[in-house]
Structure 1
Amino acid sequence: MKHLISRGLMFGNLIEVSSPQLVARYNRALRHLTGRETTLSDFHIDLSGFSPEIGDELGDRFYLNPTGANRQFILLSTAQKDAPLLNIKFSTSRGILNQFIARNEAQLFALTARDVVAGELQGSVYTVDSPARLFDIRQVTVEADTIGGHVADAGKLAKLIERFRGEPEGWRDEALIAEMIALARKTGDVTRVPISLPAMSFEQGNFWTSHFGGIYVFRDMPKPAVIARQSLGSLGAMPAAEVMDFSHRNQIADWLARNQLVEPIVQARGADAGAILRQKMDFILVDAADRLGLAMGDARRGELRKLAYRLGAGLPAEFLGLAEMLRWVEGAGDWPRISSEHPAYFYTLRARPGRDRDLVNMLLAELAPMDVRQLFITHKERFYEDYAGWNEAKKTYVADFLAREYQLDREGARQALFGAEPGMDDLAPTSGGAASWALRGTGPLNRGAAVGPWGGR
């Protein structure tokens, strides 16, 4: 992973912890949550306070998430809100932690100035021991306090003050006054500077989890579905109308269309379809060279074109399908016929705007894994897994490309590929029914039948 780390593509934007005071605070929280501590004098932490260096030291990458169901967190600073979240078990965790920090930033800033804050993302289950248990996770509650209990003490002091003010003889109650003074020494004047960090709950609607090889759970849909990376035989019974694995391409395409979750790149508003298609084709050629052990030269587009000539009849079907589409985009060919049975099909789509846009793009990235840019942006866990199996030439090419074409303007790249961030109007639930483009020239959609926008024009 050295190419990624050196270019800030892995472990980038982590927060450095090097002062003795902050290291001591971190150890207090670590002992409180796990009963363990670190001997390191400096390390880096992510959004949740997880440190890859401490994970290596303890031999446990999940020391803050031992059951994989209820992630614990350690906040030394509100600056952690801009750090990545490592070792993700649920796709919703980063958004939940970010919202918690954003909504309580002033309080957390004041609290972390005096102590470390620790807490937990509490789901409705204690462990995920079967795929069906994923449907029991309907809400995640975030609870947190300083290790010194400042929030709890402030709440207690506020009640004592209320009691003092409400009792006619309260000023004579020496025990009450003494308790108030003792608490005020820890919390300060809560009448002037209130301390409050209420528990916050978040609905766990549609999500991805790394459990059981990777599963997408879409339950807040007109037609709930589960889509798994591994074969259905490994899942057991699931409480969903449709259960599919990645081998069920036609069924997945049908379900995405009926729920109006995707759109063709060539019809997407504001997308430079030609540029996007060309880059996808480059990635497919690089992947072919990696698998066949072919030299790529400097891997510039000219060299990749020579590689395409060398492959000739051996060009991947994904490349040929996108090339056919590119010819149509540039006015040099007929409307392509690419159904969901075609290997290029999922490379031709992106998620429609809406509340599940990022989750759908994450799914599409796994169904079209040779598009390494989309895989890196939307599904880093899968990207790092695939990266480990590439040869040195592909690792270097991909790392250089992402550093050059993505790192310098992340927001611009995301908008060019996926469109603007969803607005409030886009967050309404999607309606059922097949998308109109999916029906064009294909006839009725039957479960298991090949579908797609490229059937006719």
Structure 2
Amino acid sequence: MKRLLEAELIYGRLLDIAEPHLIARYNKALKGFGLPETKLDRFSIDMTGFSPDVAAELDDWDYLDPKKVNRRFVIMTPDQENLPVVHTSFSNTAGLMHEFYLANRRAITAVTIKDALYGEIEDSVAEVKSLEDLLSINEVRFRVLSAEDLLGKAGELRALADRLTTVPDAWRDDAMLNRMVELAKSTGDIRQNALVPDKLVFRHESFWADHFGGVYIFSDERTITVICDPDAPGFRRSRPWQVSYISINDHARIYEFLARSGRIELPRASWVDASGLYRHRADMALQSLIARLEPQADFERIDPIWTQTFLHRNADAVMAEGTYPFLAGIQKTIAQTGSIRMDEVAPERRFSLLRADPAHPDMWLTNRLIAQLVPQDFVSRFVFDKQGFYRSYEDFPENFRAHVVSVLTGAYLKDKKAFRKRLYGIGDDINA
């Protein structure tokens, strides 16, 4: 992973924490979770407060994600809202955190001047043992505490202020008045500064969960669709009257569901030509073949002549695998006719021709599923399914790893918004 770290393709764009008072607040949050304090004098954090440095020190990469449910968070500054989430078991963690920041920005800004917020995104289950546990999560509640107990002090001061204005002769209670003055030294004037977050409950809609090999849960108005390994506990047994179950290996049914629910854009020349998606995926398929058939190849020296020679030299293997010639033929068909008859395409080939409908709320989740089903496209895998990309990267030949990093830093990181807009039709988004 050294190349990925140096290129900021893993744990990139994190916030550096080095000030002693911030480290002290972070340690109080860790102590509040029952965890050991960090002895580091500098570390970086993501949107949720997760630090790969602290995780390595504790030798616990799930220290903020115990049992992969009820995610913990530590908010040191409102600037964390603009950071990525680099370690999570639910695809919508970033979305939920953004909603929390947006709904409580004034309180977060006020509190983090003097304190740090920490707590848990509480689900309705303490541990995921079957699909039913995931299906039972309909909403989450943010349980919020503060490292210096600023929230507790603000709550106490508000209660005393209410008593002062509602209880006759309360103003004669010198002990109460002295306590109010003492509390106000920490909290300031709570009539002007809203210190307590007031929106804590948020809906848990469609999401991917890192359980049982990965589970996709798509929520529609009247139905829920689960796509995962059919060996997952509870498959076809949890709420069969309400939930539709599809095996991750059943490409025909997955395609039918995505098309019927309006989550994908079917091939049309209007977007295919402008996006260059098919050319991109053909290149990805070819590069994957080169890595598999000639792992010692110097990718920096590959040019059209070398490629043509490779295709002739490995003609049988290229045709047997089939993806590259299939996409080459599809591009010709689109150029000539402007469309593709999807019922004439083998189900396992269809996903290389698809992208999520950019107007659908589930576009990122749908693109994640498509990326998983088109694993040769390592760029799309990195954009939408980083966990899957990192696992695949470990199996790449060394030469190919260097090439992958070069492609991602050159083609994607230079202008992510423009790249996503062109290939996938989407602009900036919270999951980026």
TM-score, normalised by the number of residues in structure 1: 0.86
SS of the residue aligned with 1:298?
helix
Match of 1:356 in 2: 362
For residues 158-214 of structure 1, the C-alpha deviation after alignment (integer angstroms, 9 at most, x for no partner) is 232122122331221223223322322221121233322124211112110011110
Match of 1:63 in 2: 63
Shift of 1:374: 1.0
Match of 2:307 in 1: 304
Establish whether residue 256 from structure 1 lines up as the match of residue 258 from structure 2: yes
Most deviating of 99-108 and 330-339: 330-339
Q: 1:82 to 1:339 in 2, by over 3 A?
A: farther
Most deviating of 80-89 and 270-279: 270-279
Alpha-carbon distance in structure 1 between the residues aligned to 2:58 and 2:154: 35
Match of 2:98 in 1: 98
Percent sequence identity over aligned pairs:
29
SS of the residue aligned with 1:213?
coil
Match of 2:293 in 1: 292
Shift of 1:118: 0.8
Alpha-carbon distance in structure 2 between the residues aligned to 1:159 and 1:213: 49
Q: 1:17 to 1:274 in 2, by over 3 A?
A: closer
For residues 386-440 of structure 1, the C-alpha deviation after alignment (integer angstroms, 9 at most, x for no partner) is 11111112211111111011111111111112214599xxxxxxxxxxxxxxxxx
> Do the aligned partners of 1:373 and 1:402 also contact (CA within 8 Å) in 2?
yes
Establish whether residue 73 from structure 1 lines up as the match of residue 76 from structure 2: no
Shift of 1:296: 5.0
Shift of 1:114: 0.8
Alpha-carbon distance in structure 2 between the residues aligned to 1:109 and 1:274: 40
Match of 2:168 in 1: 168
Shift of 1:155: 2.5
Establish whether residue 139 from structure 1 lines up as the match of residue 125 from structure 2: no
Match of 1:25 in 2: 25
Shift of 1:306: 3.6
SS of the residue aligned with 2:422?
helix
Match of 2:385 in 1: 379
Q: 1:13 to 1:151 in 2, by over 3 A?
A: same
Match of 1:48 in 2: 48
For residues 332-366 of structure 1, the C-alpha deviation after alignment (integer angstroms, 9 at most, x for no partner) is 99956664635421010011121111111111111
Match of 1:406 in 2: 412
Shift of 1:384: 0.6
> Which residue, out of 335, 349, 352, partners 1:347?
352
Establish whether residue 232 from structure 1 lines up as the match of residue 236 from structure 2: no
Please tell me the residue identity of whatever aligns with 1:378: F
Match of 1:446 in 2: none
SS of the residue aligned with 1:211?
coil
Alpha-carbon distance in structure 1 between the residues aligned to 2:369 and 2:261: 14
Alpha-carbon distance in structure 1 between the residues aligned to 2:256 and 2:192: 59
Shift of 1:271: 4.8
Match of 1:191 in 2: 191
Shift of 1:244: 1.8
Q: 1:271 to 1:281 in 2, by over 3 A?
A: closer
SS of the residue aligned with 2:33?
helix
SS of the residue aligned with 2:121?
strand
Match of 2:277 in 1: 276
For residues 41-69 of structure 1, the C-alpha deviation after alignment (integer angstroms, 9 at most, x for no partner) is 11111111111111111111001111211
SS of the residue aligned with 2:361?
coil
What are the equivalent positions in structure 2 for 1:153-164 lying under 5 Å apart?
153-164=153-164
> Do the aligned partners of 1:296 and 1:304 also contact (CA within 8 Å) in 2?
no
> Do the aligned partners of 1:318 and 1:343 also contact (CA within 8 Å) in 2?
no
Shift of 1:145: 3.0
SS of the residue aligned with 1:41?
coil
Aligned residues: 421
Q: 1:103 to 1:274 in 2, by over 3 A?
A: closer
Alpha-carbon distance in structure 2 between the residues aligned to 1:29 and 1:334: 56
> Which residue, out of 417, 427, 447, partners 2:423?
417
Q: 1:329 to 1:274 in 2, by over 3 A?
A: farther
Match of 1:436 in 2: none
Alpha-carbon distance in structure 1 between the residues aligned to 2:239 and 2:346: 27
Shift of 1:264: 2.4
> Which residue, out of 329, 334, 337, partners 1:329?
334
Alpha-carbon distance in structure 1 between the residues aligned to 2:35 and 2:99: 28
Q: 1:37 to 1:257 in 2, by over 3 A?
A: same
Alpha-carbon distance in structure 2 between the residues aligned to 1:334 and 1:190: 62
SS of the residue aligned with 2:202?
strand
For residues 266-316 of structure 1, the C-alpha deviation after alignment (integer angstroms, 9 at most, x for no partner) is 35x545357221111111111112222352542655243443333223213
Gaps of 5+ in 1: 424-457
Q: 1:84 to 1:126 in 2, by over 3 A?
A: same
Alpha-carbon distance in structure 1 between the residues aligned to 2:215 and 2:192: 49
Shift of 1:88: 1.5
Compute the RMSD of aligned alpha carbons: 2.4
Most deviating of 186-195 and 231-240: 231-240
Match of 1:455 in 2: none
Most deviating of 276-285 and 78-87: 78-87
Please tell me the residue identity of whatever aligns with 1:83: L
For residues 83-113 of structure 1, the C-alpha deviation after alignment (integer angstroms, 9 at most, x for no partner) is 2212220111111112212332332222112
TM-score, normalised by the number of residues in structure 2: 0.91
Match of 2:152 in 1: 152
Most deviating of 376-385 and 235-244: 235-244
Alpha-carbon distance in structure 2 between the residues aligned to 1:132 and 1:91: 18
SS of the residue aligned with 1:243?
strand
Shift of 1:379: 0.8
Gaps of 5+ in 2: none
Match of 2:207 in 1: 207
Alpha-carbon distance in structure 2 between the residues aligned to 1:192 and 1:334: 60
> Do the aligned partners of 1:273 and 1:329 also contact (CA within 8 Å) in 2?
no
